[in-house]
Amino acid sequence: MTKLSKLTLALILSGVTGTSYATDLDTLQNQLKQLKQQMQLLENQLIEEKSKQQKINKKHEEQVAKISKKAQQTATVVEPVKKDDGIKFGGAIRANYSVASYDEDNKDRDGDFDFDIFRLNVSGKINDISVNGEIRFFDYMTVIKYAYLGYEFTNDWEAQAGITQVPFGNGPYNSHNYFFSSNYYIGLEDDFDLGVVVKRKLKDNWKLDLGFFKNDELGGVDGSASDKSHRYSYDIVGSRSASEGTYAEPANELGEYNTFAGRATYQIKHNKNITTDIGISLLSGGLHDGVDRAGSYGAWAVHLDSQINNWNIQLQHGEYDYDLDDQSDRISVAAYAYYDTISSEATMSSLNVAYNYSVEWGPVNALQFYNDYSTIYDKSDDSANTWMNITGVSVSAGAFFTYFDYVQARNQPFIGGTMIGDGDTERRFNINLGYYF
């Protein structure tokens, strides 16, 4: 019994174990089969998603192609909408302090501090037409400095029509200081008249400005201005008889008309920091007395404007000739609400040197040191030479700009003299403070 029992037990255990192994194997095979089925299902889903995405991409590409083709077909007939820059307004408020050797009362007060100007500027573009203007308000007068419309009819040429700057000499200024050069006081620097100017921008090293001016900014000899001396820039307003005073309103009125002016400059460019503009200017026009032609006037100048790193050098030399039918040797000019007198013919020369210096002194960011010298000589009426030398510095500090000028001059308007005088050398220390907005 014992042996049989052991044998029986062994057979029973052997059967149970075999059955368990068989059962586990079947289970594993079923699990593998299910796993394969799931993997196949996932693979089928991936293939289906890929196919859908390809269809979507193809449809998108077709739509893009249609849009691109349509854009190409309509590009030649549909013009872009032009946007206007709009009109911008700005201006300045300026005040002036001065101490002058030719004014004893001024010296006794240690100088005077006065309001200078309130200025308004307008600029902008509407439908490719630029709008530009400046009006100045003084205590004693209100004047328009310039007012013109501009149009660029090619990439290189621009036309300006209205009260615009006469192209003559180094431009836009033949000076660095507040008082300009002596040329300004004979009407040959920063002069504005009523006419048309065509400007060629710098190309192939050449610039060209051509202008025709029907008359001065106040309408010439028959203009409707109540006071011919209320203007920004100097113009001929009459001839001087021997009996008239230097500052008197002229008895014989004259006006400029049909004036042609041209300026051509050639730029020599050594590198971006060293350039020199060499140029020539010509001017010719008629003088009218309100009834008939009363004479002619003309001027010429050769000039140089060189920028050498921080240095600026300006040279200018020329002559002017106002040929009057009444053979007068003296001409009446006007600006800034008073009349003055100049010789009908003279030679003019100037030499200006300036140095630009960048700084970081609180609000001060730039200084310009300068010495400007100008002279009018060989005058037709044999009056004494005029000369003016200005040593100074201009200071830029954000919206503030200030001139500090020490002026020495002889026979110079606004420095105690006149262009036809024979006075002493005078001096003036001047500070002009401006806030620009």
State pLDDT tens for residues 6-20. 444 343 334 444 444
Which pLDDT belongs to residue 44?
73
Q: What single-letter amino acid sits at 49? A: E
Cβ(157)–Cβ(126) below 8 Å: no
For the CA atoms of the chain, what is the radius of gyration?
42
Considering 21-25, 65-69, 199-203, the range whose residues carry the highest mean pLDDT is 199-203
What is the per-residue DSSP string for 199-210? Answer: EEEEETTEEEEE
Which pLDDT belongs to residue 71?
36
Averaged pLDDT score across all residues of the chain: 88
Peptide bond into 167 cis (omega under 30): no
State pLDDT tens for residues 164-223. 999 999 999 999 999 999 999 999 999 999 999 999 988 889 999 999 999 999 999 999
Which pLDDT belongs to residue 52?
65
Q: What single-letter amino acid sits at 435? A: Y
Two tokens, residue 21 = 């192994």
pTM for this predicted structure? 0.80
Those residues with Cβ within 8 angstroms of residue 357's Cβ, 6 or more apart along the chain or in another chain: 310, 366, 367, 368, 369
Helix (H, G, I), strand (E, B) or coil at 81: coil
> Where does 86-436 sit in CATH, by number?
2.40.160.10
Domain spans of the chain, in order of start: 1-78, 86-436
Residue that wins the pLDDT comparison between 34 and 392: 392
Please give the share of the chain, as a percent, with pLDDT higher than 70.
83
Q: Mean pLDDT throughout 402-415?
A: 98
Q: Mean pLDDT throughout 31-55?
A: 69
Q: Distance between CA atoms of 74 and 129, rounded to whole angstroms?
A: 28
Those residues with Cβ within 8 angstroms of residue 192's Cβ, 6 or more apart along the chain or in another chain: 145, 146, 163, 164, 165, 166, 217, 232, 233
| Residue 79 in this model has a pLDDT that exceeds 50 | no
Which pLDDT belongs to residue 293?
97
State pLDDT tens for residues 292-348. 999 999 999 999 999 999 999 999 999 999 999 999 999 999 999 999 999 999 999
Q: Mean pLDDT throughout 23-34?
A: 66
- Number of C-beta neighbours around residue 338 at 10 A: 13
Helix (H, G, I), strand (E, B) or coil at 382: coil
Q: Return the ∠ at Cα 52 (arms to 47 and 54), rounded to 5°.
A: 95
Helix (H, G, I), strand (E, B) or coil at 45: helix
Is the four-CA dihedral 31, 35, 41, 44 of positive or negative sign?
A: negative
State pLDDT tens for residues 245-271. 999 999 999 999 999 999 999 999 989
Cβ(87)–Cβ(132) below 8 Å: no
Which pLDDT belongs to residue 179?
98
Cβ(341)–Cβ(331) below 8 Å: yes
| Residue 53 in this model has a pLDDT that exceeds 80 | no
